[in-house]
């Protein structure tokens, strides 16, 4: 049985173990196809999309999106695409050479293996084990500090991605921000270091409130999140009518490739900084999140989860980050008006990170899990025509040179 939508009140699953008699279950009941010859799996997928679209058609007072690596993997331009942790492992091994990489694993005692004996390619755990070992291993044996530094530089470079044409990032942003102007701004929280969503915002002429000043140099201050963008061109009876469209908040919980801390401790935004401010993959991410600017981002995430009528959508998030998961679990347990929708490539009950949420989704109606790819979710997210935004695409005029 394969679940493709799971919720206490609504579910879609199918059993294709017998290819000649695929069984589809809607809300737990076997669907009667009668004499229909249509593709039954396609029918199940269409039903799933119809169901989650109906949920997303509601105007939630506080709409939040949390994205992880899954919203960047496979996306990019000119052959440089976002990579998974397994791909980063393979690239790190190639970078250091197999001999040095294997010596690093042996020295730090990394021996994680699957049941079939193959090594588990968890680069995050390697960095977690290698970093504290730096002072205790003589460089004559292996220069762990150099290995860690090279891997981090490689990760930084791997996150320098360009937004592809017709990207799901642009499509999803345009749909998510179609809201009543009287509602709070849509808020995007991302764990990714890359600039995909910033580039998508630029492509569609969005105004992004990201915690940095609008003056140059762009300096970070948490109070910038308390500001908004309004239009004063016309006199309006109602003040809320002055709020312009295509504005959203962006919070980068693990830092960004274009952040840097200067000597005076100011955090600035700049192109290609020498030492970008990023929480690299390691198990002490929880502790690092208590430093600025991460602490401000995390505090905003927690406070938004505690508000009334909150709907959180997660896309491409592995649920492996303890501090993020803790905040979500707290909201589920303490906020009666909180709703969670998890978008994941599959609903895999063997996934230890996702398993508790799968069990909860079977019992509670405020948790939904949807098996869907990022690009398909963006495509099938309902487009609320009643809140259409002005078409403010840039006009490009090519004047020939004489």
pLDDT in tens, 13-44: 999 999 888 999 999 999 999 888 789 999 99
Of 143, 158, 173, which residue is a domain's last?
Answer: 158
Query: Does 220 lie in the same domain as 145?
Result: no
Residue 367: inside a domain, yes or no? no
Residue 56: inside a domain, yes or no? no
Write down the pLDDT at residue 54: 94
Query: Does 307 lie in the same domain as 180?
Result: yes
d(CA 252, CA 121): 26
Query: Does 38 lie in the same domain as 101?
Result: no
Question: Backbone phi, then psi, for 19, in 5-degree steps?
Answer: -60, -25
Residue 136: inside a domain, yes or no? yes
**Beta-sheet pairing, 12-15 with 23-26:** antiparallel
Of 132, 158, 184, which residue is a domain's last?
Answer: 158
Write down the pLDDT at residue 278: 87
Give tens-digit pLDDT for 83-104. 988 999 999 999 999 999 999 9
Write down the pLDDT at residue 212: 94
d(CA 214, CA 96): 41
Residue 209: inside a domain, yes or no? yes
Q: Where are the beta strands (DSSP E) in 262-366?
A: 267-269, 310-315, 338-344
Write down the pLDDT at residue 181: 80
CA triple 113-119-120, angle to 5 deg: 75
Query: Does 87 lie in the same domain as 221?
Result: no
Write down the pLDDT at residue 364: 92
Query: Does 217 lie in the same domain as 93?
Result: no
Of 158, 174, 209, which residue is a domain's last?
Answer: 158
Write down the pLDDT at residue 240: 53
Query: Does 194 lie in the same domain as 174?
Result: yes
Consecutive 10-residue averages of pLDDT for the chain (402 residues)? 93 92 94 87 96 93 95 93 92 94 92 87 87 87 92 91 93 92 92 95 93 92 90 62 85 93 89 85 58 88 96 94 92 95 93 92 94 96 75 62 62
CA 275 to chain centre: 23
Q: Are 232 and 279 in contact (CB under 8 A)?
A: no
Query: Does 281 lie in the same domain as 149?
Result: no
Question: Which stretch of DSSP H or E encloses residue 108?
Answer: helix 98-108
Residues 6+ apart with CB under 8 A from 368: 5, 6, 7, 10, 52, 55, 339, 340, 341, 342, 361
Q: Is 383 helix (H, G, I), strand (E, B) or coil?
A: coil
**CB-based burial of residue 234 (10 Å sphere; 0-12 exposed, 13-18 middle, 19+ buried)?**
exposed
Residue 362: inside a domain, yes or no? no
Domain extent for 28: 2-47
Write down the pLDDT at residue 179: 87
Residue 41: inside a domain, yes or no? yes
> What is each CA distance from 58 to 55, 62, 244, 275, in whole angstroms?
6, 11, 21, 43
Q: Are 85 and 281 in contact (CB under 8 A)?
A: yes
> Please, what's the b/e burial string for 286-317 (b: 16 or more CB within 10 A of its CB; e: otherwise)?
eebbeeebbebbbebbbebbeeebbbbbbbbb
| Three-state SS sequence of 148-193 | HHHHHHHHHHHCCCCCCCCCHHHHHHHHHCCCCCCCCCCEEEECCC
Residue 365: inside a domain, yes or no? no
Query: Does 288 lie in the same domain as 195?
Result: yes
Other CB atoms within 10 A of residue 29 CB:
9
Query: Does 245 lie in the same domain as 126?
Result: no
CA 313 to chain centre: 9
Please count the structural domains in the chain. 3
* DSSP category for residue 388: P
Query: Does 153 lie in the same domain as 135?
Result: yes
Query: Does 175 lie in the same domain as 125?
Result: no
Write down the pLDDT at residue 243: 77
Query: Does 65 lie in the same domain as 43?
Result: no
Residue 246: inside a domain, yes or no? yes
């Amino acid at each position: 049985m394969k679940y493709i939508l799971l919720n206490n009140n609504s579910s879609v699953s199918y059993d294709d173990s017998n290819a000649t008699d695929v069984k589809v279950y809607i809300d737990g009941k076997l669907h009667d196809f009668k004499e229909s010859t249509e593709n039954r799996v396609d029918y199940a997928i269409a039903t799933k999309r119809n169901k989650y679209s109906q949920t997303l058609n509601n105007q939630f007072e506080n709409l939040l999106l949390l994205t992880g690596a899954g919203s960047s993997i496979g996306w990019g331009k000119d052959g440089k695409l976002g990579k998974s942790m397994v791909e980063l492992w393979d690239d790190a091994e190639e970078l250091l050479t197999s001999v040095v990489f294997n010596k690093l694993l042996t020295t730090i005692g990394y021996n994680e293996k699957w049941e079939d004996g193959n090594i588990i390619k968890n680069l995050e755990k390697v960095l977690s084990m290698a970093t504290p070992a730096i002072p205790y291993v003589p460089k004559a044996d292996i220069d762990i500090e150099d290995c860690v530094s090279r891997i981090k530089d490689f990760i930084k470079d791997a996150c320098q991605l360009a937004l592809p044409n017709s990207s799901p990032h642009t499509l999803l942003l345009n749909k998510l921000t179609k809201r009543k102007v009287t509602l709070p701004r849509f808020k995007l929280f991302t764990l990714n270091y890359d600039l995909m969503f910033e580039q998508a915002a630029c492509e569609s002429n969005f105004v992004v409130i990201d915690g940095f000043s609008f003056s140059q140099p762009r300096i970070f201050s948490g109070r910038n999140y308390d500001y908004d963008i309004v239009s004063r061109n016309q006199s309006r009876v109602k003040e809320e009518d002055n709020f312009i469209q295509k504005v959203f908040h962006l919070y980068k919980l693990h830092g960004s490739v274009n952040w840097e801390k200067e000597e005076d401790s100011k955090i600035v935004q700049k192109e290609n900084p020498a030492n970008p401010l990023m929480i690299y993959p390691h198990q002490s991410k929880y502790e690092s999140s208590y430093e600025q600017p991460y602490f401000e981002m995390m505090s905003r995430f927690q406070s938004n989860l505690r508000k009334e009528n909150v709907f959180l959508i997660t896309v491409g998030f592995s649920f492996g980050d303890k501090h993020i998961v803790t905040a979500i679990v707290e909201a589920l347990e303490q906020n009666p008006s909180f709703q969670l929708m998890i978008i994941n490539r599959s609903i895999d009950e063997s996934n230890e990170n996702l398993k508790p949420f799968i069990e909860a989704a079977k019992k509670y109606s405020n948790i939904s899990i949807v098996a869907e790819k990022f690009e398909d979710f963006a495509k099938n997210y309902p487009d609320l025509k009643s809140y259409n935004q002005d078409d403010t695409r840039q006009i490009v005029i090519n004047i020939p040179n004489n």
